[in-house]
Amino acid sequence: MSSTPYALLNPGRVIAGPGSIEQLTELAQGFFQARRVLIISDKGVAAAGLVNAPLQQLQAAGLQVSLIASTPPEPDVADVQAIEAEARAAGPFDLVVGIGGGSAMDVAKIIAVLLAHPLDLRELLSKKADITARGLPTVMVPTTSGTGSEATPNSIILVAEDELKVGIVSARLMPDAVILDARLTLTLPPAVTASTGMDALTHAIECYCSKKANPFSDLYALEAIRLIARSIRRAVHQGDDLQARADLLLGAYWGGVCIATSSTTAVHALAYPLGGKYRMPHGLSNAILLPSIMAFNQVGSEVRFAAMARAMALPVEGLSDGEAASAFVQALRDLNHDLGVPATLRSLNIQPADLEGLVDGAAKVTRLLDNNPRPLSRDDMRALYAALI
């Protein structure tokens, strides 16, 4: 539990429910009084037609709309700089809308700042510069139920030369509005639904365990765990189940709120090198690492782990906290198995020769390692990776 002051950061306005994407025009025109709108998305989302209706609705209302749908799955500095250059050439804009997964939303948030202020992306990433004022207004529209980027003050960008993802974190990146329309997630393939949903669950679990955990993050984390645990299997195996999709999307949002008020921990720290060097999808790396690192973290945190077991509706009544904590960790392993998540990194071609590089990369993510409830030495990290290779 945090022993220092804590804060609750939330987007200014959240609109949720099936069909809520239809309120984007009213938001843009009525609430933000925008005339020129930039939509940032990715090729997959655009190819699925998920940007068509909102783009056409904005245009029908008389707004000028530019679409940049080139965000890659793991955007690096060059990718973001190219999008910034394209946006500057097409601008100016009054509003930035991010439609897609975490990468598209992370890019949309930082582009909104870069378009409004004379800041250099590399200087922000190296901490040589700070975001001192809010950028253009932003609306985030997630099409996956995972990253929670729509609710966080974070923008995660790959620094290719360091083979590591780096987070730009500032309260001034918090979105101005969010639209949570589960209909936009109905066509998400099972494997992507599984990995992004496990990403969302990881956020809630880590934030509940974090040294920065507080009454705000506790409230949202336990609710996120409850919603995700009851819905993720149905969302993966019965993708047209709108109620399951809605629960998963809301759980992912609450997970993002947790990140904003608490923080993730060692799972994300050890996942970052897997994404940075091997371009492994972020949710997948988190899912594979989660059970092993939670088994490590349960020592000394049995009471909190028992609370998470109850939030997952596990049959732990009458068990000691330690027994409930172990049941919780086993439930995570069972969940991965049921969702088809690989049990090892070796199955994804991570080899023993990669071990030291992974440890070196993870050790640099002190921002998250310092939040872990149980300290990790390099030997601990090496053992956790090695057990999965």
Tell me the CA distances in angstroms from 127 to 78, 82, 122, 170, one per residue in order: 18, 21, 8, 11
The pTM for the full model equals: 0.93
Looking at the chain, the domain(s) classified CATH 3.40.50.1970 span 13-185
Q: Letter for the amino acid at 263?
A: S
126, 164 Cβ separation under 8 angstroms: no
Q: Per-residue confidence of the chain (389 residues) as pLDDT tens digits? A: 666 889 998 999 999 999 999 999 999 999 999 999 999 999 999 999 999 999 999 999 999 999 999 999 889 999 999 999 999 999 899 999 999 999 999 999 999 999 999 999 999 999 999 999 999 999 999 999 999 999 999 999 989 888 888 889 999 999 999 999 999 999 999 999 999 999 999 999 999 999 999 999 999 999 999 999 999 999 999 999 999 999 999 999 999 999 999 999 999 999 999 988 888 888 999 999 999 999 999 999 999 999 999 999 999 999 999 999 999 999 999 999 999 999 999 888 899 999 999 999 999 999 999 999 999 999 999 999 999 98
In angstroms, the CA 314 to CA 302 distance is 15
CA distance 301 to 166: 28
Q: Give the tokens for residue 302.
A: 């049995």
Angle at 240 between CA 74 and CA 280, to 5 degrees: 20
* Helix, strand or coil, per DSSP, at residue 275: helix
Looking at the structure, give the CATH architecture of the domain made up of residues 13-185.
3-Layer(aba) Sandwich (3.40)
162 burial type by CB count under 10 A (0-12 exposed, 13-18 middle, 19+ buried)? middle
Chain region(s) in the chain for CATH 1.20.1090.10: 190-388
Nearest to 107 by CA among 164, 168, 63: 168
Got the DSSP string for 188-219? Answer: --HHHHHHHHHHHHHHHHHHHHSTT--HHHHH
Distance in angstroms (rounded) separating the CA atoms of residues 338 and 73:
25
CB atoms within 10 A of CB 96: 29
Helix (H) or strand (E) holding 178: strand 177-180
Q: Which two tokens stand for residue 86?
A: 């394209």
Q: What is the rounded CA–CA span in Å between residue 8 and residue 260?
A: 7
CATH superfamily of 190-388: Dehydroquinate synthase-like - alpha domain (1.20.1090.10)
Phi, psi of 165 (to 5 degrees): -80, 140
